[in-house]
Homo-oligomer: A and B are copies of this chain.
């Protein structure tokens, strides 16, 4: 197999991005049947199953390789057109994975400045910082804010800084649940708020505090960053709140253990691509991180 039919590769990319054959067809201005035929033809040519026709559609390992290739290709093509002054629609899409707390605090201002300069549009995907690298590996994004410093294959990795979290609760919650005994005794039994099932910050804090392994308290799941901090301030439970979010809430949040902050190191990983737009974003993100992170 000496080359890959580019229309078929781009069709695969559209199916993954739009999450259905019908939607991909609409974007590509062809029929859903043509989309299906192109993907099948690409599978026959490569001799591999590329995606599972489940809902949501899932890429196989071979499909991930081709989608990463397709996304790099699209970026290079867009950059070349822009350089030639031919980027008519002007929409170079930069798909970036970012953790919810970064998105809610320091990350967004980095993007707003450069969108118009660089003529790009941002396709942000929100994911736990321990799992953004997976999106990078699977070719679903071309850059990511990750917890891991280990570069994903084909990517570069740069340190952004540490995001500091503090165990916090409302004054009313402390009076109800934490006032009668030391924190090591009361906190493991008090209601806790966690972001989602991937969020282990609260458990990590408790393990370090108590040297115990497992905890069976009431757990609320609040999967939105601002709402999480609001719920802690409203007294629904205690939780690990980013310092950057705690400040604006003033006295509604009390630091339960001022000498025990939890720092989450964050890194910027991106594909090795000679793309001016991606480089501009990387620079703006590094600058914003330097201002807000430790």
Q: Roughly how many angstroms separate A112 CA and B229 CA in the complex, as a whole number?
A: 12
Q: Roughly how many angstroms separate A53 CA and B278 CA in the complex, as a whole number?
A: 36
Instruction: Decide yes or no: A126 and B219 within 8 Å by CB, A108-B230, A230-B108, A235-B112 being known contacts.
Output: no
Interface of A is mostly: mixed
Can you tell how many copies of this chain the complex includes? Answer: 2
Which of chain B's residues has its CB closest to A177's CB? B116
Q: Roughly how many angstroms separate A234 CA and B227 CA in the complex, as a whole number?
A: 21
Q: Roughly how many angstroms separate A219 CA and B122 CA in the complex, as a whole number?
A: 7
B108–A218 CB distance below 8 A: no
Enumerate chain B residues within 8 angstroms of A236, measured Cβ to Cβ.
111-112, 115, 122
A222–B58 CB distance below 8 A: no
B227–A224 CB distance below 8 A: no
CB-contacts of A193-234 with B (<8 A): 197, 216, 218-227, 230-231, 234
B220–A115 CB distance below 8 A: yes
Partner of A231, one of B108, B216, B230, B231: B108
Enumerate chain B residues within 8 angstroms of A222, measured Cβ to Cβ.
103, 108, 122, 124
A224–B221 CB distance below 8 A: no
Q: Is A72 an interface residue (CB 8 A)?
A: no
Taking the nearest CB of chain B, how far is it from the CB of A5, in angstroms? 25
Q: Is A18 an interface residue (CB 8 A)?
A: yes
Enumerate chain B residues within 8 angstroms of A237, measured Cβ to Cβ.
115
Taking the nearest CB of chain B, how far is it from the CB of A272, in angstroms? 24
B121–A219 CB distance below 8 A: yes
Q: Roughly how many angstroms separate A58 CA and B52 CA in the complex, as a whole number?
A: 12
Enumerate chain B residues within 8 angstroms of A227, measured Cβ to Cβ.
103-104, 108
| A interface with B by C-beta (< 8 Å) | 17-19, 23, 52, 54-55, 58, 89-91, 100, 103-104, 108-109, 111-112, 115-116, 121-126, 176, 191, 197, 216, 218-227, 230-231, 234-237
- Known interface pairs A90-B218, A91-B218, A123-B220; 11 further A-B residue pairs with C-beta atoms within 8 A, sorted by A's residue number: A17-B197, A54-B54, A54-B58, A108-B222, A108-B231, A111-B236, A116-B176, A121-B191, A122-B220, A124-B221, A226-B226
